[in-house]
């Protein structure tokens, strides 16, 4: 009888272990905190002051999340992700009152056919092109972004109501597609989004191309479809230079079309890369104003040892169109040194210098390093940060 009880208990433990092995939930996160110096922050028209601030996410946004998977058999899995960004200085959400402001999706994946997911997700510029740019990686991040993060390579906003497909790797190729619904009766195109991406990896070479389009009806902020594809307050830099709106400027225009491409080449402990992006925005606020942004980024990183790494980038940007005042030009140089204390914890110092050459009276012609609280009161701005980053 005792033997039978022991055998039964052992069987139950084995079955329970097997069930647990077929499904899993992982808690993960990243905390990035440090001190940042910024020069020439505008405090009033025509005046400015330098600032010292404790900052959260100088390189990567602090976040925590849950990932899960359940084995459905035949190489299929049910998968989900819930991810929330927060400010480590005060513990608040970084995007309105959303609990899971960075990601919230569920779907199915297959080793053979890829993954289909539904919910709040990143676009394909973020998934394919951003990893080849220092702003989209742990080697540069927030302050390395192109002016106003107009191409969203720093993942300043995500897409709501999105259906997304990501293929498996096939002879080095991988592709993806996304569609974000407006969710508005009688307004199918009012605040919708769609995106495509393609990558190819061959030996030391990594190539990628991405496309993102935001559609609206050139609405004013009061008329915006607040339940549509893009409703974040985190990508407010560009529109703050033009307006007091709190949503990406492309949603307040007839159309924003962003195309990007990049390449990385790895040789020994070094990686060199180049990224190009172009964003065309048409008809601000039901007017005929339009603008065309172009960004050219060259980047490089080198691992001196497994614990010590240096990275740097130079970005040239320009904006033209009929938005008034001609064509501003931006030059930005960024650099970062990182030391790993362990596999999960590192310390870093990094900085960026930006200079704008404004043309005429264009409101776009301001020096404003991404992630800094205020634009510069002059044509230049300098930012420097030292911080600690921990992953769990």
Structure tokens at 58: 């100088």
8 part of a folded domain: no
Strand pairing class (329-340; 192-202): unpaired
11 part of a folded domain: no
pLDDT at residue 274 is higher than 80: yes
9 part of a folded domain: no
DSSP code of residue 364? T
2 part of a folded domain: no
Mean pLDDT value across the chain:
87
Please name the helix (run of DSSP H) or strand (run of DSSP E) that holds residue 7, with its range, or none: helix 2-22
pLDDT at residue 13 is higher than 50: no
CATH number at residue 364: 2.40.160.10
339 part of a folded domain: yes
pLDDT at residue 59 is higher than 90: yes
Over the stretch 333-386, which tens digit does the pLDDT of each residue have? 999 999 999 999 999 999 999 999 976 556 667 899 999 988 898 899 999 999
12 part of a folded domain: no
Domain count across the chain: 1
Which residue, 237, 68, 62, is CA-closest to 146?
237
Q: Which domain holds residue 280?
A: 23-391
Provide the whole-model pTM: 0.88
109 part of a folded domain: yes
pLDDT at residue 15 is higher than 60: no
256 part of a folded domain: yes
The whole-number average pLDDT for the span 107-119 is: 97
Strand partners, 193: 180, 214
How far lies 310's CA from each of 270, 302, 332, 361, 371, in Å?
10, 5, 17, 38, 21
């Amino acid at each position: 009888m005792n033997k039978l009880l022991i055998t039964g208990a052992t069987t139950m433990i084995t079955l329970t272990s097997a069930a647990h092995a077929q499904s899993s939930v992982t808690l993960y996160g990243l905390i990035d905190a440090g001190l940042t110096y910024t020069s020439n922050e505008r405090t009033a028209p025509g005046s400015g002051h330098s600032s010292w601030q404790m900052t959260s996410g100088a390189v990567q946004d602090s976040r925590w999340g849950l990932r899960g998977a359940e084995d459905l058999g035949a190489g299929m899995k049910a998968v989900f992700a819930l991810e929330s960004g927060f400010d480590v200085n005060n513990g608040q959400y970084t995007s309105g009152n959303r609990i899971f402001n960075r990601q919230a999706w569920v779907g199915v994946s297959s080793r053979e056919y890829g993954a289909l997911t539904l919910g709040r997700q990143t676009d394909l510029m973020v998934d394919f092109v951003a990893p080849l740019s220092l702003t989209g990686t742990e080697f540069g991040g927030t302050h390395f972004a192109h002016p106003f993060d107009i191409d969203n390579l720093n993942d300043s906003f995500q897409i709501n109501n999105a259906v997304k497909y990501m293929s498996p790797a096939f002879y080095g190729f991988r592709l993806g597609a996304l569609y974000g619904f407006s969710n508005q009766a009688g307004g199918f195109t009012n605040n919708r989004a769609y995106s495509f991406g393609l990558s190819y990896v061959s030996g030391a070479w990594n190539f990628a191309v991405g496309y993102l389009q935001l559609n609206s009806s050139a609405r004013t902020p009061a008329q915006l479809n607040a339940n549509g594809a893009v409703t974040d307050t985190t990508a407010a830099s560009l529109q703050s230079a033009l307006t007091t709106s709190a949503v990406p400027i492309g949603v307040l225009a007839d159309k924003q079309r962003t195309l990007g491409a990049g390449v990385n080449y790895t040789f020994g402990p070094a990686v060199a890369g180049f990224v190009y992006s172009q964003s065309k925005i048409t008809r601000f606020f039901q007017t005929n104003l339009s603008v065309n942004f172009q960004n050219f980024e060259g980047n490089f990183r080198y691992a001196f040892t497994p614990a010590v790494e240096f990275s740097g980038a130079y970005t040239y940007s320009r904006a033209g169109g009929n938005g008034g005042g001609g064509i501003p030009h931006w030059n930005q140089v960024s650099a970062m040194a990182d030391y790993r204390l362990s596999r999960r914890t590192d310390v870093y110092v990094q900085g960026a210098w930006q200079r704008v050459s404004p043309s005429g009276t264009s409101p776009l012609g301001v020096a404003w390093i991404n992630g800094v609280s205020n634009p510069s009161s002059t044509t230049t701005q300098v930012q420097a940060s030292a911080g600690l980053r921990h992953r769990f």
